[in-house]
Structures are given as C-alpha cells and as structure tokens.
C-alpha cells in the first residue's frame, strides 16, 4: 500500500508556493517515475481482472449456501466493500493527523480522496446489505449493531464531504476537515460499542461475517480473492481521485496566479 | 512551579472569557429562554407523536427527554461564538497572548451553563407531565455527564461550522452522528433510573469514557480550527 | 509611562543601534486560498520608527499586518517582531504588538470600561483597572465609561478601539486603515497618539488610503504593489504622485 504510506512525489512542474517534494520522495523519483508510468496500467489491469475473477468465483466457484441459497453470494462483494470503506476512513484519519502536523497539502488531498472513496463504498455496503437482508431477514433494514454503526459512519463522512464543499479549497477548510476526519474516526469504535450494548437486550441476527468457523475452503478462497481484488481497485481509484484533486487544485492555483498577475 | 503559574494563568483567562460571554449573552439575548421554550415544546410534541400511555411511557419518555435536550442544545451551541461573530471578531481575541485551550474551555463552560439552565427548567416539567419519578439524586450525574459529552463536541464543531457560510445547517449535521453514543448511554441510564433492570450495563461509565476522549481530542484540535 | 518590553531604549538613546529591529522580514511569501498575496518581501524596520505602509487595494498590506500580528502564518520566509519569530514565539510577539483596525471589534454589550478591563486581563496586565481608567480619562471617555459600547457614538467607539490598542503598552503598534471613518477630532487624536508613542520608543506601522496623511505621519514609507515591495525609503522624499506612480509601475524599481 505504498500509495497510502507515501504521497506520490510532486510533479516536476510544481508551482512556487507549493511545498517541494520531501526528501525520500525526491530521492526515489527515478524509481517512482517509470513505476508510476506503467505501474498504473498494471494496477488497472490487475484490479479489473481481479474483480472479474472474484465475481466469477462468487457465482460459479463458491458453493451455494444451504440455508440462504444464492443470496449469500452477495457476501463476496459486501464484505470487501466494507473492508475498503473502513480502510479508506482509516487513511482519512491518518492523513488528517499528518496534514495538521506537516501542513503539506498533499496529505489533505489524500484525506479528501479517501473520504470520497470511503463514502461511496459505504453507500454500496448499505445497499448490498439491504439487498441481502430483504430475502434473509424479510426486511430491508434491521437495527443490528454493525448496520447502525455503518449508517452513522455514512452520516459522519457525508458531513465531512458537505463541510469540504462549503469551505472550498481553503486552508481553513482543510484544517476543519482534518479535525472532523480525526474525531469522526475515533467515534467509530465508541459508536460500535455503544450500539452493541444498546442492542444487548434485543439480539439481532448477525451478518454472515466470517459466520461459520468451518466454512468450506472454496468460500474462504473466494472471499480472500475478492478482498484482494477490491483492495487493488481501491488503490487504483485512490490514485485517480487523488490526481484529479491535485490537478483541480493546480488549475485553481494557476487561475489565481493569472488573475492576480 | 511553572506548571502552577501556567495553570493559574489558564484559569484566569478561562474565567475572564467565560465572564465576558455570560455577561454579553445575558444582556443582549435571551437565547436560553428560547432554548428552554424549545425543550418544553419538544416534550409536549413527543407526547402527541408517540401517543403515550401508562404502559409505554417508561420506555419512550427518556428518549423524548434526551432528544429535547439535544435539540435545545444545538440552538445554544450555534451561539457559542455569537459575541465574537456579531460585534467583535475572534481574530481580536486571537491577537491576545491567550492560551487557545482557555478559549475552548471558556466556551465549553459557557455552553454548559446555558444548557444546564435549560435542563434545570425542563426536568421538573418533564417529571410532572410524563408523571415519572426522575427527580432523584441519580439523575444528576446522568444529565451532567451527558451534557458534557454533547457540549464538548458541540463547542468544537460550533467553531468548525462557524467558519462556513452554512453555520446553522452544518452544525447539527456534523454533531448529531458523533454524539450518538452519549445519547444512547444517557437514554439507557435514564431508563434504568425509572425501571431498574437487573444486570444493566454501566452506561454512566460509557458516557464518562466518551466525555474524556472527546474533551481531550477537542482541546488538542481546537487551535487548528480557529487559527492558522 | 515606561515601556516594559524595551527598558534600555529610554535610558540610553545612544544604544539604539544595538536594539533588535522592531520588524525584520526576510524573503516573506504568503499564499492565501491558492493565491499568491506576498511575493518575497525583505525589509527591516528599526525600533522607534514611524512607518507608512502604502499600496493599492489587494497589494497585500492587510496580509502583511496580519502576519506581523500572528493572525496569519508566513508560507515561506522569516518574520521577526522585536526579535521574536512570529511562528515559534507567537505569544511573545502578541505581548508586544498592538493592533488597531478600521473596524473597532469591541464587545457591544459590554461597557467601555468592561471592554478595556477584559482585554487588560487577556494581556495579563496586573493593574488593568487603573490602566483602563487612565486611558478612559485620556481619550475623553470617562463620562461614558459605564455605557455599553452599543450606545456610544462612532467617534467614541473608534477612540475606545485606539485605547484598547495601546492598553498593554505595545512596542510595535500596527494601525490598519485607522483613519477610515474617523472624524476630525479622532484623526487629531490618532496623530497625537502616533507621535506620543514614537516619542516613548514605540514603533508604528500604519496603512492608509490617504497617501498624503500617511506620508505626513510617517518618517519611512514602504510601498507594496502586487505583493512586492516597490519602495522603501524616507517618506519626506515622496509626494502623492510619486506613490501613485509606484502603484502602477509594479514591475519597476526594486
């Protein structure tokens, strides 16, 4: 996950006023440059192939679940989506701290890109969960602890994106968003805990998350494949969204320079 | 030695800002009156909305009470920086050699005073119109800890929302999802007061943990929100 | 009245040379909302100087003042006020800087005295009561001391804002268009305060749209245009037309 741990180095044409590429990023530039040029295509191909393979495995390789039937196959999409969403929100959290600490705008753009991806994936998690819940539980929605937490998470990060849209590309907005990115993520475990306790007296059906300890190997394999494929897809999306934000910021910067020249 | 002096200065600065805010708020606006009226109105409306009867009142009423508190709090929280935004400027305060945490502490205490006053008025009314035995010593820590949790997050996000054009809309949107744990805890603890359950969970502990976590995060991050 | 922060300046005027410069700016750049506002400023202001900071709208005057007052942080470069770095010793700088803007920014629901006392406490002044009284007296506000600011006239509010600016006896007084909306009385008072402060060893930096008044009040003129410093020299050597020419010839002299 080098994409996350290390912000892609600044483009060579970095405008003055933009923080210059930091030490390690610049030193690695000769290695990163070709890797970026071709690595992205490799990543795109790998994630496309991975998702296709995972879907094939979900439909044809994994066995039909005895009680739930084919509906259970949605798990192979639902679980990886949830994993990516949580991963993205963790990156928002980490990048927000780094942004407040280092004040490098690239961390802010990474946080923003991850919040967008995480919110999209959380939406899909809620939709796939509902689609699964309707036939299995007989209801689109149940106030299960995990579902409720996911829903609240969704509200927190939609709030994050709203805040960003209201504050534009200002430094003050970036700092406020970083604070929300930190508080919001810390809130997740407390939320989960409180909702679990809240529901203790009314046990709800569990999501089939790693449900049976003796799951058939084909189920485990399919799930692992799907997890890998969606993580690659996440990495690819992150690079694209991050670059989009970078270019938008750069365009706004250039426009401002022309206007004030 | 140095920490004592720093602490004393911190306390003096907090007290001065709090004094100033209370004075401005009491002289200029009766927002706490509006908050109180709002809380009472909410309690009355819930009565119609849920069609309360003797058999379900104990289960539903604590939720109604806390939603009334939360909604009324948002009204007050939105005015956290009113004295600065309307006739002064937060910049003017930031020009002074004041610990930014003292500003947060003063604003938090101010919110606690106003929300607390509203709760003090609405609790007896709640006990009377819902006919529930909540006016015992046990309610004090629940209301206190619950309110600290709401105000800790609310004060931080009042500063965040205050930086935007959509202050009034954004504040509840950002605050409500974050205070879910404290509301759950407070509702459950209040229910436990009305009809104690065997083996009920330590809800007060959950709220207290929430308070500590959010007070510390808010104190650390507040300066990033208000200044460059 | 003694200036706590610069005790040596009054006793030994000869030592003036060795005092730290009131303001020292080195390669200062500031980008605000992706927009370059200041582009590589370098200048120094000696202690006790009276400086007019001139420039057309959007030249970066207010931004520079905000950086000197620690309200904004430099994007690049170094800024020292009375020898203290605005980034790392912000509280030390705040203690030494007085700021008067074109908006009074007083608490309208507090009385004149309460405002001064509040800010006195914020600056940690131990005898804030006595000092507030002395300033109210000097600025002709004693009769109005217990009136809420809301009830004061515009001129009285401006005078109160001026009093608040020098309450903590700053070593550097920043005046951001203080003459906008001031009446004649208040203007005379402003000029008097600027001269008296300078005589007491205080450095003054003021911005104004009234070029002639700025030049008359100051010894040194700094002219900003397009975020660059285009002139730094004696104010007496410039007249209004020179300054206007500097505003437009922004890529000219450096």
Determine contact: C76 vs chain A, CB below 8 A.
Answer: yes
The string of DSSP codes covering chain B is -HHHHHHHHHHHHHHHHHHHHHHHHHHH--HHHHHHHHHHHHHHHHHHHTT--TTTHHHHHHHHHHHHHHHHHHHHHTTTTHHHHHTS-HHHHHTS---HHHHHHHHHHHHHHHHHHHHHHHHHHHHHHTT----STTHHHHHHHHHHHHHHHHHHHHHHHHTSTTHHHHHHHHHHHHTHHHHHHHHHHHHHHHSPPTT---HHHHHHHHHHHHHHHHHHHHHHHH--
Best residue in A148, A150, A197 to probe B by mutation, most B CBs within 10 Å? Answer: A197
Residue found under tokens 């507030």 = C132
Contact A253 C34 (CB under 8 A): yes
Q: Is residue C129 part of a domain?
A: no
The reported pLDDT for the residue numbered A124 is 96
C95, C99, C107 ranked by CB distance to B20: nearest: C107
Residue found under tokens 């020009």 = B95
The reported pLDDT for the residue numbered A18 is 38
Q: Are A146 and A114 in contact (CB under 8 A)?
A: no
The reported pLDDT for the residue numbered B166 is 83
Determine contact: B54 vs chain C, CB below 8 A.
Answer: no
B165, B166, B188 ranked by CB distance to A198: nearest: B188
Q: How many residues in total does chain A contain?
A: 261
Percentage of chain A lying above the pLDDT 90 cut: 47
Best residue in C105, C115, C168 to probe B by mutation, most B CBs within 10 Å? Answer: C105
Percentage of chain C lying above the pLDDT 90 cut: 51
Q: Is residue C135 part of a domain?
A: no
Is 50 exceeded by the pLDDT of residue C7? no
Contact C148 B97 (CB under 8 A): no
Distance separating alpha carbons of residues C137 and C118, to the nearest angstrom:
17
Q: Is residue C78 part of a domain?
A: yes
The reported pLDDT for the residue numbered A200 is 53
Which range, B86-90, B163-167, C233-237, has the best average confidence (pLDDT)? C233-237
Contact B160 A163 (CB under 8 A): yes
Write the pLDDT tens digit of every residue in C146-156.
999 999 988 88
Domain boundaries, chain A: 24-206+216-260
Contact B16 C118 (CB under 8 A): yes
User: Which region among A83-92, A180-189, C240-249 has the lowest average model confidence (pLDDT)?
Assistant: C240-249
The reported pLDDT for the residue numbered B198 is 61
Q: Is residue C185 part of a domain?
A: yes
Determine contact: B31 vs chain C, CB below 8 A.
Answer: no
Is 70 exceeded by the pLDDT of residue B199? no
- CA-nearest of C52, C168, C22, C164 to C100 is C164
Write the pLDDT tens digit of every residue in A132-152.
888 888 888 888 778 888 999
Size of interface B-C (CB pairs under 8 A): 67
* Phi and psi torsions of A208, nearest 5°: -75, 50
Distance separating alpha carbons of residues C136 and B189, to the nearest angstrom:
54
The chain-wide mean pLDDT, for chain A, equals 82
Determine contact: A171 vs chain C, CB below 8 A.
Answer: yes
Helix (H) or strand (E) holding C132: helix C128-138
Distance separating alpha carbons of residues A259 and C225, to the nearest angstrom:
15
Contact A183 B210 (CB under 8 A): no
Best residue in B21, B88, B226 to probe C by mutation, most C CBs within 10 Å? Answer: B88
- SS3 assignment, position C232: strand
Mean pLDDT of all residues in C224-240: 89
Give, in words, the CATH class of A24-206+216-260. Answer: mainly alpha
The reported pLDDT for the residue numbered C213 is 85
- ipTM, two decimals, is 0.91
Neighbouring C-beta atoms of residue B70, cutoff 10 Å: 24
Cα B155 versus chain centre, distance: 8
- SS3 assignment, position C17: helix
Neighbouring C-beta atoms of residue B116, cutoff 10 Å: 16
The reported pLDDT for the residue numbered B98 is 94
The reported pLDDT for the residue numbered A13 is 40
Q: What are the chain C neighbours of B91 within 8 Å (beta carbons)? A: 71, 105
Which residue is closest to B18 within chain C, CA to CA? C118
Shortest Cα–Cα distance, A182 to chain C (Å): 23
Percentage of chain B lying above the pLDDT 90 cut: 54
Which residue is closest to C118 within chain B, CA to CA? B16
* Domain that residue C29 falls in: 19-109+165-248
For the beta sheet containing C203-207, the strands, ordered from the edge strand earlier in sequence to the opposite edge, are: C97-100, C172-176, C203-207, C50-54, C220-225, C228-234
Pairwise pLDDT comparison (B195 vs C41), residue with the higher score: C41
Q: What are the chain B neighbours of C119 within 8 Å (beta carbons)? A: 96
Token pair listed for A127: 């939709």
The reported pLDDT for the residue numbered A261 is 63
Distance separating alpha carbons of residues A114 and A89, to the nearest angstrom:
7
User: Which region among A8-17, A170-179, A197-206, A209-218 has the lowest average model confidence (pLDDT)?
Assistant: A8-17
Q: Are B164 and A166 in contact (CB under 8 A)?
A: yes
| Confidence category of residue B19, pLDDT binned at 50, 70, 90 | very high
Determine contact: A143 vs chain B, CB below 8 A.
Answer: no
CATH of the domain at C30: 3.40.50.300
Shortest Cα–Cα distance, A114 to chain C (Å): 22
Q: Is residue C240 part of a domain?
A: yes
Contact B28 C109 (CB under 8 A): yes
Query: How distant, in Å, are the alpha carbons of C53, C211, C216 from that of C180?
Result: 15, 13, 16
Domain count, chain C: 1
Which residue is closest to B26 within chain C, CA to CA? C109
């Amino acid at each position: 996950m080098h994409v996350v741990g290390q912000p892609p180095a600044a483009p060579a044409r970095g405008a003055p006023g933009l923080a210059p590429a930091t030490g390690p990023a610049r030193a690695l530039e000769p290695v990163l440059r070709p890797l970026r040029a071709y690595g992205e295509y490799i990543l795109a191909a790998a994630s496309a192939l991975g998702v296709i393979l995972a879907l094939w495995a979900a439909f044809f390789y994994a066995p039909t679940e005895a009680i739930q039937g084919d509906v259970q196959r949605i798990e192979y999409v639902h679980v990886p989506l949830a994993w990516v969403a949580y991963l993205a929100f963790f990156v928002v959290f980490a990048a927000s701290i780094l942004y407040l600490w280092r004040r490098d705008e690239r961390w802010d753009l990474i946080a923003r890109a991850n919040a967008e991806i995480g919110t999209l994936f959380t939406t899909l998690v809620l939709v796939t969960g509902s689609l699964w819940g309707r036939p299995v539980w007989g209801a689109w929605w149940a106030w299960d602890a995990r579902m409720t937490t996911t829903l609240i998470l969704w509200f927190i990060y939609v709030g994050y994106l709203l805040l960003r849209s209201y504050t534009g590309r200002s430094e003050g907005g970036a700092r406020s968003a970083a604070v929300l990115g930190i508080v919001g993520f810390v809130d997740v475990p407390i939320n989960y805990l409180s909702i679990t306790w809240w529901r203790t007296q009314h046990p709800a059906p569990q999501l089939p998350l790693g449900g049976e300890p003796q799951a058939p190997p084909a189920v485990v394999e399919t799930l692992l494949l799907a997890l890998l494929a969606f993580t690659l897809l996440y990495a690819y999306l992150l690079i694209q969204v991050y670059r989009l934000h970078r270019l938008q910021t750069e365009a706004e910067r250039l426009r401002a320079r022309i206007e004030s020249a | 030695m140095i920490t004592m002096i720093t602490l004393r200065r911190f306390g003096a600065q907090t007290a001065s800002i709090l004094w100033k805010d209370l004075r401005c708020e009491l002289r200029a606006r009766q927002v706490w009156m509006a908050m109180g009226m709002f809380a009472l109105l909410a309690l009355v409306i819930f009565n119609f909305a849920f069609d309360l009867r003797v058999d379900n009142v104990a289960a539903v009423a604590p939720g109604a009470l806390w939603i009334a508190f939360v909604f009324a709090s948002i009204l007050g929280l939105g005015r956290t920086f009113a004295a600065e935004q309307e006739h002064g400027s937060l910049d003017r305060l930031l020009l002074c050699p004041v610990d930014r945490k003292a500003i947060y502490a003063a604003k938090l205490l101010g919110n606690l005073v106003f929300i607390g006053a509203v709760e003090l008025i609405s609790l007896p009314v709640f006990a009377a119109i819902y006919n529930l035995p909540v006016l015992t010593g046990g309610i004090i820590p629940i209301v206190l800890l619950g309110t600290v949790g709401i105000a800790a997050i609310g004060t931080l996000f009042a500063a965040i929302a205050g930086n935007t054009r959509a202050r009034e809309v954004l504040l509840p949107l950002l605050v409500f999802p974050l205070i879910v744990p404290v509301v759950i805890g407070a509702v459950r603890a209040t229910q436990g007061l009305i009809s104690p359950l065997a083996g009920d969970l330590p809800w007060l502990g959950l709220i207290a943990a929430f308070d500590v976590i959010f007070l510390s995060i808010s104190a650390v991050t507040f300066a990033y929100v208000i200044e460059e | 009245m003694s200036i706590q922060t610069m005790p040596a300046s009054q006793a030994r005027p000869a030592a003036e040379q060795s005092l730290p410069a009131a303001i020292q700016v080195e390669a200062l750049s500031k980008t605000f909302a992706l927009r370059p506002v200041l582009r590589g400023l370098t200048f120094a202001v000696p202690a006790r100087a009276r400086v007019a900071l001139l420039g057309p709208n959007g030249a970066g005057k207010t931004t520079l003042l905000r950086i000197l007052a620690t309200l904004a942080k430099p994007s690049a470069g170094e800024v020292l006020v009375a020898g203290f770095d605005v980034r790392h010793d912000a509280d030390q700088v705040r203690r030494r800087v007085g700021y008067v803007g074109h908006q009074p920014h007083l608490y309208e629901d507090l009385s004149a005295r309460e405002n001064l006392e509040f800010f006195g406490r914020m600056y940690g002044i131990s005898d804030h009561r006595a000092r507030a009284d002395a300033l109210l007296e000097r600025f002709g506000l004693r009769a109005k001391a217990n009136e809420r600011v809301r009830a004061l006239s515009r001129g009285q509010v401006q005078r109160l804002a001026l009093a608040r600016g020098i309450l903590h006896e700053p070593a550097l007084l920043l005046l951001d268009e203080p003459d906008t909306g001031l009446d004649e009385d208040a203007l005379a008072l402003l000029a008097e305060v600027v001269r008296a402060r300078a005589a007491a060893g205080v450095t003054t930096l003021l911005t104004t749209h009234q070029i002639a008044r700025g030049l008359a009040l100051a010894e040194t003129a700094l002219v900003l245009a397009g975020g660059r410093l285009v002139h730094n020299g004696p104010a007496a050597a410039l007249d209004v037309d020179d300054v206007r020419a500097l505003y437009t010839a922004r890529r000219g002299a450096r």
